[in-house]
Structures are given as structure tokens and as C-alpha cells.
Structure 1
Amino acid sequence: MRMVAAGSGVLGWCAGVAAFAVVFAGSWVPSMWADELATAEAVSSPAELAEVLAERDVVFVPYYALMLVWSWLGGADWWLRLPSALGIGAAAGLLADLGRRLGGVRAGVAAALVLVVLPSMSRFGQEARPYALAVAAAVLSFWALHRVLERPSRGRWAGYGVAVALLPCTHLFAVLVLPAHLVVAAVAKAGVWRPLLGWMAAGCVPAAVLAVVSASQVGQVSWLAVPGWSDLVLLRSSITSWRPVPEVGHLAAVLLGWAVVAVAVAGGWALWRSGPGGLGRGFAAGALVWGALPALVLFAVSQVATPVYNTRYALAAAPGFALLAGVALARVRVPVAVVAVGAAVAVAWPQHVRVREPGGHEVDYRSAAAWVSAGRQAGDAVVFAVPWAREGLSRYGDLPEVLGAEPAAGRVWLVREETGRAVRPGTDLPSRYGLAPVGAAKVTRLLEEGFAVRRQRDWRGVTVLLLERAAGH
């Protein structure tokens, strides 16, 4: 028995370490985007964190507290992203062991492979935000549920309660996986409703506290729009990658996502048929609910109440499909499974490469800052037409300490979001197209001061214009 336990532990550790290595690779290349910059700013000091929480992001208090301590040892991009990579590694390791418990070693290995193949695991495993930790917490909660239903004990129940409590500490919407726990228990006919509900309720205390204290800041998701059916059809965060917009490998990734769902359904059916009652049937039904329910709930709430649907908010659902897909792959011949996984890797590869590029996190501030720093002359000024670009370029470049909207300098570097209409058609004048009122006012002032565009460079998410004052101004 000890040898079996040791072997199962080795499987989990090997899967976890391998997944971490894959996800962490290249995490130092992409520039931080706005949300990551918000994390870096918030955890720069206790005073800064207190100021941030007074205005927004109270719901992220546990994550920010962790990152505040973590940042004492460094503030590099890769270091701030490391906890997320560790989270995906932990998720893969626990999922491998859970798959082994349900369908054998092959099922565990395949489940971990499917999870890591999903581009979203690399995308959010390389992001200084809590979504990857929510994935780990979700898998931990189901792993703890299996252990306690398999052999109940006080220690295992306490561990289950801790696992449930970790869910909202990573992301409040991660608790949407909990109804799947009830499905597992109901279908498995475990007969442990009293302790299950008791420990689940105790574990949900942090969720209640965070919901109450963050209620006054609900406006921070006011930017979300009511999702349409296309958003649900193209949902990729819980199955493949981040947002349903045209990009490299997009359509193939969408098909990969739904292929994973289809294979997961087949795996659930196979697990259901493995025997009447028992944990197999319980997890066959529960894992499907785990994979599908979070996105459906967020979509429904967005239709009838306030918009809360964002694909990354459903990221914790991804392992549910991966688990059952692993069970399905374990039921076919090894060559067939190898070909299937190889095909998935080939389809997902373009997006794995994409997220590891300098602009892999939607914006390439590092390259833009390098261009400005290399070309800046004494007396040059920088004007930011979009507020978040200030933090982005300042993180990666040696910029002037005084940044103004009406510089006395003869040259100005104007930074704005990426657009093909940064210059008025047929002229050499900067355009106000697409800018918010504050940014548009800055461009207006530059026009009044007689500045014209001399050079322009575009990177993903950011455009930089070098302006010079015309003669006579």
C-alpha cells in the first residue's frame, strides 16, 4: 500500500513539475498589461496597497496580501508571475492524481496533458493576477472532495473545508464550482450530507466576507457589456484561451476547445458506465457541471441583472473538461491517444507561441519604451493620451521625470493605444480618433502648439508618435 501511495505521489509531482516548466517558459518576455501593472502598483508598498483598496479591488485582498509579501523578494515581471505558474503546476499535479483515482494512471497523465495543452493555462499562468490560482484552488477542492468521500475522517473534512475556503480567496467567482460538489455527492449517494454542507458552509465564510466588503465597489466591473450568444459560443477561457477576437490560431483554438468538451462528454459517459453508483458516476456528472456551470451562471446573471461575464472569470472551470477528457483518452489505444494529444498540441501551438511574444499580453510596452528611450534627446517630453500607458512605459523605459500635456520642448513623444488612424489622413497632424476626452484634449493642445508628426511606430496595443514643433510656433 505504501508503494502504491508513493507511486501516485510521484505521478502528481512529475505532472506538476512538468506543467510548471511548460507554463513558466517565456514568462519574462511579454510586457505587463494594464491589470498586471495594477498588481505591481498595488503591492509596491503597504501604503500603496491601502490606497488602492480604498478605491477598488477589495475583492482581491487575499491575492494582494500574498503578492505584497512575495514582492519583498523582487519585482521583476517573471517573479510577479511566478505564483501563477506555480498555480498551474499545482493544478496539473492534483488533476493527474484525481484522474488516477478515477480512471487509472493513464487517465491522470492524459488529464494533466489536456490541461497544459490549453493555451489559457499558459496565458494566465504567466499573468500577475489570481486567475491561475483559482484554477489550482478549484482542482484542490475536487481532489479534497474525492479523498473525503472515499474515506471520511476529521482530518480530511478539515482539509476539505480549507480547500473550499481557498476558492474565494483566489477569485470570488471561483465558488461557482461548488454546486458541482453537491452533484458529485448526490449522484455518488455518499450519505454525508450533514458534514459536507457543514464544512462547505464554513469554507464559504471568506466568500461571504469578500462579497460584503466589496459590494460598494461593484462599479469596477461596470466596463463589462451584456454578452451575446456569440460570446458563449466562442468562450475559450474555460477551454482554450482568452478572448474571442480574431488573432493567430483563433478559429483552430475555438474548435480545439469544443473538441475538448466533446471528448470530455465521452469520458463522462464512459465513467458513468463504469458501475452503478459510486464516486465514478458522481464525478462523471460533477465534472461536467464543473466545466459548464460557471460560464452559464455568469452569462445568465449578465442577462437579467448586471453584466459580470468575462471569459477569464470562468477559468476555474477548465480542469473539469480536462479531467473527463483524460478519462476518455485512457479508454482508447495508446497510439490513438498519442495522435489525439499531438493533434491538440499542433492546433494550440500558434497561441502558445503568441502568448510568449513581447506583445503576448495584449500590449508591447517594453518595445515601445525601448524605442522612446533610444531616441529621446535632452529636453524631450512625453505625453500620454491613454492613462494606463504611463505605467507601462515607465516600468520599462528611462523616461523624463516631468510628463506634461503642454510641453515647452521642441519634441514630444505622444503615446496612445494602437490604431491605424493615429495621424489625420492626408496630413502630418496627430489625430484624436478613438481617444477619451482627457486624451483628446492633450492632442488638441499639441495641435494648437503647432506640433506635427515626424515618426510613428506601432506595436501590439500601443502606438508612439514623435512630434516636432513646426517653425514659427
Structure 2
Amino acid sequence: MLRSVWCWPALTTLLLGLYRITTPEPWRDEISSWSAANRTLPQLFAMLGNVDASNGVYYLVLHAWTGVFGDSVLSLRLPSALAMAAAAAFTALAALRWFRSRVAAVAAGLLLAALPNVSAYAQEARSYAIVTCAVAAGGWCLLRALERPRAARWAWYGLCTALAGVFHLVSLSSLAGQCLLVGLHFRSVRDARVLRRFPVAALAALLPTVPVMLLGRRQSGRQLDWVAVATRHRLRMFWPEFLGSFSVMYAFLALAAAALLWRGRRTAAVQAAALAVLPVLGVWLVSQGRTSYFVDRYLLFTLPAWAALAGGGVGAVHAAVRALGARPAPPGARDPLKALPRAWRPTGPGLAAALALAVVAVPGLLGLPEQRGARHVTAHTETDYRGAARLVASGYRDGDGLVAVGGRKAWMMVGPGVAYHLPGGVRPRPLLIARTAVRADDLFPTECPVPVRCIGDVSRTWVVTIGTGDDPYQALPADQAGALRAVFTPSEVRHVRGLTVSLLVRARGRA
């Protein structure tokens, strides 16, 4: 197994994904994942009928996973780390079939591991790593099916494509690159079976995604209204941000150019480039309408193709050096390479390994600042849910209430974020809420239309708001702030990163 081209890329990606995996604090999208997965199946299905159906399959998988392994930060993020490691394995296997070079294959997998966004989303409790794995596996299965167009291989390709689609619909844009890949293959082999079986497999893969499409279309106005318009400037800036930085992008472009110049492997390089670029351009074009889907993490699944293309560049450099070393010296000339041990001559395995590692190390070293940033405690969020929960827990008394900022700021998931980090024995009563998120079949609770009527007889309540000012009611809707002022007086106001935590005590004589 250790000699397999997929082994070391998978292990490297897994180790990088596990390194400090619990350090970055879960951000609001991860809290949404926990909130959804933590419900019973009937409650989860009821929620998906109203919101976030596009992530429903992931929530179901996470529900089953946490039912067995718990809902710690490590447990929530571990499926993503495992999926990204598998994506690196499939990237290496696909590069091997494209470029027929073990050096290119191993380099492709290691280059994927070196990308900062791969590490970042290997440590996030969302579906993007699983989608990346499914698309990478689908690309490899497609290459196998084109090589030998058997029904079983087409079935595996269809299954991977369907999995990617139901986990995230934007991944279906990968079909644009796959169509060009199939067209280039047909032009070289003229096998009519390819033109019959590829559309059948692709259409079969689309069938399971239809329910998700229908629900997602109905919910798109609410789910995607925050996505900015896909301008030309955003397209230009997409690539350096996506690959980690301008320097990493230039390193990948240099390796891609080397792959495209590799004689005998140009078709393979063009196929990989199609899978890397066409989905991005397709999503950008579709996003010119009323709804934009142009978000970098939605297109994470194109990174394996970028890595495979860059791995082909490493293979091209290695092949050129070997050809140079194999060239005979002029008659009478002294060959300095004979002084080297055989393994370290340009045609030997030692130099091949050293050369591949040296070339791969360049984008890896260039991306180190972004790799460190991905593991910082504030990598995902500027709000310290954990710190706020610690303050509440330290002064909690049985019967305390909790008010978390909602309304137009409900998408910040402050209430669920604090609740996730509270110890098991600390369960403050939610105030100013008519129905909890679970009872409302939503990610957000339904707020009380007349806040003062929803306070009850609570003598103390904690208030967690956004910002770090001294006003305990900042960012609260005016009617909620007024209701709290009428009943309570501030006892203490404390701050954590991005949040204010206040303890309000019922004033004497106030009902």
C-alpha cells in the first residue's frame, strides 16, 4: 500500500487536516450544521421543507455520524478531514491515468494537500470537502470508463456524480468540463459507445438531484440573497483567493503551462484544465441573473483538477530532466554525471523523488502564511461563541433566562452558537421567543410579537449581543430593548471577541 501513488497524498492531506483541527472556533455555518443534525429525523425533515434543503443530505449524514460519535468539534469536523484525504487519493489516481507518470500522480496529490483552502475546508463541518471528494472520485471513474467503457464503470461514475449533486447542486457544473473531456477522448479514439453511455450515465446521475433542485429553487431567495453580484472584477480576483494567494496562483500556472507543453500529454492537460476552469466560468455566467451562486467554497470541487494539472507539470519537468540526462555525451567529452551514484543520476529514482518534492515544495512554502491563518482560533469567525458561553456558565443560576440577538441578525447564529458551548447542566430559558427554531421548523426561532409578554417571571437574564460597546441592548430590535429596560436593570456588562455578554437583574417592584 505504501508504494501506491494515492497513499502518501492521502496520508499527508489527512495529517494536515487533523493538525489543530479543533483550534479554529466553529463559525455560524458550522453551528447551523450542528443545529440541524442535532434534531430528530422528523424535526430535520420538517425544517428542510422550509429552509436549507440544498444541504439536507449533508445534515442527514451528520445526524447519523453524531449519533454514533457525538457532537464535539473534532467529531463534527472529522468527516470533512477524511473526505479531503480521499479527494487527494483520487486526485493522484486521476493524474496517473492522465499523465502515465507516478511522479506526476504523487505530485498531484501532494499539491492538493498544499493548497490552503484544502486545509481550511478539511477542518469545517460543512459539505464542501465531501463534494470535493465525490467530484474527484467521479473524474477518476470517468477516466476509467473511457478507458474501458463497461457498464459497471459508468455506473460508478454516475453514482459519484449523483452524490456530489445531492450534497451541493453547484457541483453539477463539473459536467461542463466533463463534456469537453469526453469530446476530446472521442476525437482521439472514435468509440461511439462513449457518446451513448456518457449522456445516459450523466442523466441518471441528475435524477436523484431533482427533489433537491425543486426545493432549493423555492428557497433560493432566502438562502442566496447575501451573495454579491458576480462581476468581472470578482472573477479576476477569484483565482488568487481560491488558490491561496497570488504567489501560489503563479506557481500553479507555471506548472500548468509545463503540463500543456508536455509532448504526448497535451490532451490530458487540456482535459484537466477543462475540469478546473469551465465549471468556474459556467457558474460565473449563470450568476449574471437575479441569483448569484459565485462563492469560492461552492467551487472547491475544482481544486483536484488544478492539482492534477499542476502535477502533470511536475511530471513534465521530471521527464525533461531525465531526457537531458539520457542524452549521450559528445565523443571524447567527460560526463560529470558518472561521478554521481546511479540512483541520483537524472535517469535514477533518487533524483526523481528529490525533484518532485522540490517542485511541490514551492507552492507549499508559498502558501504557508495562509496555512497558518487557516488554523488560527479566529480563522472562521470574528465572534467568540465559546467565550460568551463561558461567561454565562460561570455566573449561571437555575432559572436564568437568555436573550440572544436575533431579528435581522439571526443569521449570525448567536443563540445556537452560545448553546453549543454551554455545559450540560447550564440550560437558561430562551426569552422573547414565541417558538424555538425546532418548533418553528426553521434554523431561526420565531420571535415574540409583543416582547414584554414573553418575559414571564424570570428574575435574571443573560443578554448576548453583537459588538463590544457598553450598551447591553446594542443590536437588539427596539421593541425587545424597550421590554428588557422596563423590567430589568444591568448588573454587569462584559465583552469577548465580537460579542457583549450582559447580566440583567429584575428591578424591585417591576412586574
Residue 428 of structure 2 corresponds to 401
Are residues 1:67 and 2:53 paired? no
| 3-state secondary structure, aligned to 1:382 | strand
Segments of 5+ residues of structure 1 without an aligned counterpart are 1-5, 241-252
Are residues 1:318 and 2:303 paired? yes
Q: Provide Cα deviations, 1:175-232, integer angstroms capped at 9, x if missing partner.
A: 1111211211222324321122222222222233421343222222222231333432
Q: 1:217 aligns with which of 213, 219, 223?
A: 219
Q: 2:379 aligns with which of 345, 349, 360?
A: 360
Are residues 1:466 and 2:493 paired? no
Q: How many pairs are equivalent? A: 436
Residue 113 of structure 1 corresponds to 110
| 3-state secondary structure, aligned to 1:214 | helix
Decide whether the 8 Å contact of 1:30 with 1:364 is kept in 2: no
Shift of 1:377: 5.6
Give, in whole Å, the separation in 1 of the partners of 2:428 and 2:488.
Answer: 23
Give, in whole Å, the separation in 2 of the partners of 1:154 and 1:468.
Answer: 67
Change (3 A) 1:390 1:450: closer
Q: Provide Cα deviations, 1:229-281, integer angstroms capped at 9, x if missing partner.
A: 343233269833xxxxxxxxxxxx321442254135314413xx422xxxx44
Change (3 A) 1:351 1:376: farther
Give, in whole Å, the separation in 1 of the partners of 2:60 and 2:123.
Answer: 19
Decide whether the 8 Å contact of 2:78 with 2:123 is kept in 1: yes
TM-score of the superposition, structure 2-length normalised?
0.77
Give, in whole Å, the separation in 1 of the partners of 2:471 and 2:61.
Answer: 47
Are residues 1:259 and 2:284 paired? no
Shift of 1:46: 0.8
Amino acid at match of 1:391: P
Shift of 1:134: 0.8
Change (3 A) 1:183 1:260: farther
Are residues 1:274 and 2:232 paired? no
Q: Provide Cα deviations, 1:122-144, integer angstroms capped at 9, x if missing partner.
A: 22112221111111111111111
Residue 246 of structure 1 corresponds to none
Amino acid at match of 2:36: A
Amino acid at match of 1:232: L
Give, in whole Å, the separation in 1 of the partners of 2:507 and 2:54.
Answer: 53
Segments of 5+ residues of structure 2 without an aligned counterpart are 319-351, 433-451
Between structure 1 and structure 2, the one with the greater Rg is 2
Residue 339 of structure 2 corresponds to none
Q: Provide Cα deviations, 1:140-181, integer angstroms capped at 9, x if missing partner.
A: 111111111222223222222222222202211111111211
Q: Provide Cα deviations, 1:394-431, integer angstroms capped at 9, x if missing partner.
A: 111144521325667786543223x3xx42xxxx5346
Change (3 A) 1:168 1:312: same
Shift of 1:451: 4.2
Are residues 1:42 and 2:78 paired? no
| 3-state secondary structure, aligned to 2:403 | strand
Are residues 1:122 and 2:124 paired? no
Instruction: Quote the sequence identity (%).
Output: 26
Residue 464 of structure 2 corresponds to 415
Change (3 A) 1:323 1:378: same
Residue 247 of structure 1 corresponds to none
Q: 2:51 aligns with which of 56, 61, 85?
A: 56
Q: 2:204 aligns with which of 186, 202, 208?
A: 202
Change (3 A) 1:42 1:429: closer
Change (3 A) 1:174 1:223: same
Decide whether the 8 Å contact of 2:488 with 2:506 is kept in 1: yes
Higher mean Cα deviation, 317-326 or 300-309?
A: 300-309
